[in-house]
Structure 1
């Protein structure tokens, strides 16, 4: 199993947008944070490659000029595939794939719910009578993404929202956008680097089903073919 992780997350959208790059060491079951670079805002998410370069340099895992000593390299790149920011997911998945290919590391994608599930499951067990947990994250155009404890994923309009029956543990950076009947509000919002790396380990061990390290899009593509069709190929 991998011993060194590069973790990338540019999934948060809207006002919660941010970019996260971190390096972690694994010693048995324990993970230790070696370096972390995190910035808020859409530009930070789109510039995830710069955050990754800084995190690798701070960890001493970047190749130094004018030296013959090889630097340690991550043997696993774990990237959050969504749901979330359309541009942030494309940027982070592309950077993760390119770096993993360049250094020969494992490339593993994890969803935000998979990374937070152990913490939410533990929190859920402390409360009686709850129907389960829901992770609510920002989307576009007055909507949010909802992932549940059974693996369901949907995008819903805030204006048309009807709360499900029962009491729920509600988490996520957009949890306050929806109304619920007597919910238990969780402090969990976005996964940290260790939670993402642990989810990657569970996927590599076969405890999570396969998931490609590609953006997890909920909505169908908005691009449409022109009404008159495509132009003819140049002669």
Structure 2
């Protein structure tokens, strides 16, 4: 985006999208006329925005590594927003709860700020979802071709399902502006260094070997 004008946008649905990130980003930059590395003076006006989570381990790592590489290469500002922040900004609805896919019969829940005592995204088994738990919901677990029938049934007929399974570029920009305004107490450089840390809900599955790591080759 340039200002509030959308120059180019792509949606990559389905599994394996992370494998196409780099060539698609190159196409987007060419389409927007940004295919050349900007001069340092212009780079200071740029900003990289990325969703930090929740989401799949591979998808988040690939997305945020690419975002961090662009930010370092262009020496520009960077900021990360949660999936819930981005979808709520896309919908212009601060009270929507975002429900997205997780593994093992669960969903990720990104509640709006101030909802009960919950502070940030968490995972919950679909079998534990109850009618009336949330008033308005959005996200790929409840809307679009990948909506989960079991989850929709458990949510009941009273819940309002909002038409947004993924954030738009305009929503990302709006969420980033709001998030940046809330973080002005910290230095911009410090924000940039921590901008793209993944927001993992689940603990990492990788474990160190019981016998420890092998010695490096001599």
TM range (shorter): 0.7 to 0.9
Alpha-carbon distance between aligned partners in 2 of 1:119 and 1:53, rounded to the nearest angstrom: 24
- The alpha carbon displacement at 1:201 in A equals 1.5
Q: 2:103 aligns with which of 140, 155, 173?
A: 140
What are structure 1's unaligned runs of at least 5 residues?
A: 1-23, 125-131
Alignment of 1:13-52 (within 5 A): 24-26=1-3, 31-52=4-25
Partners in 1 of 2:174 and 2:46 — Cα distance?
14
Higher helix share: 2
Alignment root-mean-square deviation, CA: 2.8
Give 1:74-93 correspondences, 5 Å limit: 75-93=46-64
Q: TM-score, normalised by structure 2?
A: 0.77
Post-superposition offset of 1:205: 2.1
- The separation in 1 between residues aligned to 2:73 and 2:52, in whole angstroms, is 20
Could you say what secondary structure the match of 2:128 adopts? Answer: coil
Distance in 2, Cα, partners of 1:203 & 1:216: 15
Tell me the alpha carbon deviations over residues 205-230 of structure 1, each in whole angstroms, 9 at most, x when there is no partner. Answer: 22699773122111001111222333
Partner of 1:170: 137
Q: 2:122 aligns with which of 147, 151, 154?
A: 154
More strand by share: 1
Q: Structure 2 unaligned segments of length 5 or more: list them.
A: 114-118, 186-190
Q: Which one has more relative contact order, counting CA pairs under 8 Å at least 6 apart?
A: 2
- Which residue of 2 is the match for residue 219 of structure 1? 202
The count of corresponding residues between Structure 1 and Structure 2 is 195
Residue pair 1:78, 1:109 contacting (<8 A) in 2 also: yes
In the TM superposition, what is the alpha-carbon distance from 1:79 to its structure 2 partner? 0.8
Instruction: State TM-score, norm by structure 1.
Output: 0.72
Aligned to 1:97: 68
**Distance in 2, Cα, partners of 1:94 & 1:220:** 19
The answer to whether the Cα contact below 8 Å between 1:46 and 1:88 also exists between their aligned partners in 2 is no
